[in-house]
Amino acid sequence: MTGTTTASMRKTNETIFQATDLAAVLFDLDGTLVDSERLWSDSMDRVAAQLGGALSPASRDRTVGQSVPLAVGIMLEDIGASESVESTVELLLTITGEIFAEELLWQPGAEELIDAIRAAGLMTALVTNSPRSLVDVALRMLGNHRFDITICGDEVVRVKPDPYPYLRATELLGLTAEAVLAVEDSPSGTQAAVDAQIPVLVVPSLVAVPEGPGRIFASSLLGATVDELRHIHREFARSRRAHDQDAGRAPSA
């Protein structure tokens, strides 16, 4: 369910600039800021049951971090249902919206960290594969005031694991990849940020994220501080400059 890019914005910077200092933190939604992966799992189970099947654990893992249409396609194939992706997406979003409105909760430490980031004068963005209809439900709890921009899966031409959502977020913030840090929980989201040349703090949720370049791991956001995020960002910047110099290239800003 992709379409024209129409990211919701509260403010933008007109000047694109390069900086090594951390200027913004880009957050994934499901499993990162909110404890929603289990709610998505419940929704998928309900839809599969209505269609006469049961989603296998392996297929459930494959849906984590994916766009809704792709996740629905995986489910329909897994249970052998003949319903269309479009009608099943509509059913899934209806059920999930009802569950979100009643049961959605912050992940431990996430609310406090975002408030500290904004109090420190840094920008924040929400970058998610979830559709706008569900993001708006989540924002009733999260608060629109906590994000300068929101990027939703049905408002961009390509979704994670493609880097486009993160590239679009930095563009709208008036920043480059060198000035931001992403926070993710899934393999697809982590890959999207890494491919956008954005360093990633990974807080794994339901599905393990493999080790690899451009990422550092934390068990949760509980107790995380802005100073720690700045330190992580500086270390990634130093590593990037050293890599560029070893490769004989001019270092990034």
The per-residue pLDDT for range 188-219, each reduced to its tens digit, is 999 999 999 999 999 988 889 999 999 999 99
Same domain, 30 and 146: yes
Quote the pLDDT of residue 4. Answer: 33
- pLDDT-derived band of residue 223, with 50, 70 and 90 as boundaries? very high
Q: Is 198 found in the same domain as 134?
A: yes
CATH number for the domain including 235? 3.40.50.1000
Residue 233 pLDDT more than 60? yes
| Amino acid 9: pLDDT | 43
Indicate if 139 and 232 belong to the same structural domain: yes
- Could you give the percent of the chain with pLDDT greater than 70? 90
Is the domain of 31 the same as that of 17? Answer: yes
Chain mean pLDDT for the chain: 90
Residue 1 has pLDDT above 70, yes or no: no
Q: Say yes or no: 133 and 211 in one domain.
A: yes
Show which of 103, 121, 144 is a domain's final residue.
Answer: 103
> Is residue 53 a part of any domain in this protein?
yes
Q: Is the same domain home to 175 and 112? A: yes
Q: Please give the Cα distance from 253 to 249 (Å, whole number).
A: 12
CATH number at residue 42: 1.10.150.240
pLDDT tens for each residue of 10-33: 444 444 434 479 999 999 999 999
pLDDT, tens digit (0-9, with 9 covering 90-100), for 80-135: 999 999 999 999 999 999 999 999 999 999 999 999 999 999 999 999 999 999 99
Are 165 and 221 part of one and the same domain?
A: yes
CA atoms within 13 A on the CB side of 251: 13
Q: Is residue 252 part of a domain?
A: no
- Among residues 86, 82, 70, 40, the alpha carbon closest in space to that of 188 is found at 70
pLDDT, position 240: 84
Catalytic positions, please? 28
The pLDDT, as a whole number, for residue 191 is 97
Residue type, 32: T
pLDDT of 251 above 70:
no
Q: Which helix (H) or strand (E) holds 151?
A: strand 149-151
Of 82, 103, 124, the residue that ends a domain is 103
Total tally of structural domains belonging to the chain: 2
Q: At what angle do helices 68-79 and 37-50 cross, to 10 degrees?
A: 40
Q: Phi/psi at 176 (nearest 5 deg)?
A: -110, 170
Q: Is the pLDDT of residue 8 over 50?
A: no
CA 238 from chain centre, in angstroms, equals: 25
- As a whole number, mean pLDDT of residues 49-56 equals 95
Domain boundary among 86, 103, 120: 103
User: What's the pLDDT tens digit per position in 133-191?
Assistant: 999 999 999 999 999 999 999 999 999 999 999 999 999 999 999 999 999 999 999 99
For residue 130, what is the DSSP state?
A: S
Residue 251 inside a domain? The answer is: no
Q: Is residue 3 assigned to a domain?
A: no
Any idea which of 3-7, 73-77, 200-204, 237-241 has the lowest mean pLDDT?
3-7
What is 10-75 written as a DSSP string?
Answer: S---SS----SS--EEEE--BTTTBS-HHHHHHHHHHHHHHTT----HHHHHHHTTS-HHHHHHHH
Domain enclosing residue 54, as ranges: 37-103
Shared domain check, 225 and 165: yes
In the predicted model, is pLDDT for residue 253 greater than 70?
A: no
φ/ψ of residue 141, rounded to 5: -90, -45
In terms of C-beta distances under 8 Å and separation of at least 24 residues, what long-range contacts does 152-155 make, across chains too?
152/7, 152/8, 152/128, 153/1, 153/2, 153/67, 153/68, 153/128, 153/129, 154/1, 154/2, 154/3, 154/68, 155/3, 155/4, 155/5, 155/6, 155/7
Do residues 118 and 75 share a domain?
no
| 14 and 58 assigned to the same domain | no
DSSP code of 99?
H
Residue 162 located in a structural domain: yes
DSSP type of residue 248: T
Write down how long the chain is. Answer: 253
Residue 32, Cα to own-chain centre: how many angstroms?
A: 7
Once rounded to an integer, what is the mean pLDDT over residues 212-232?
Answer: 97
pLDDT confidence band for 243 (50 / 70 / 90): confident
Determine, yes or no, domain membership for 157: yes
**3-class SS at 215?**
strand
Does 177 lie in the same domain as 92? no
Mean pLDDT, residues 39-52 taken together: 94
In sequence order, the β-bridge partners of residue 124 are: 25
Q: How far is Cα 201 from Cα 183, in angstroms, rounded to an integer? A: 5
For residue 253, tell me if it sits in a domain.
no
Same domain, 172 and 220: yes
2 in any annotated domain: no
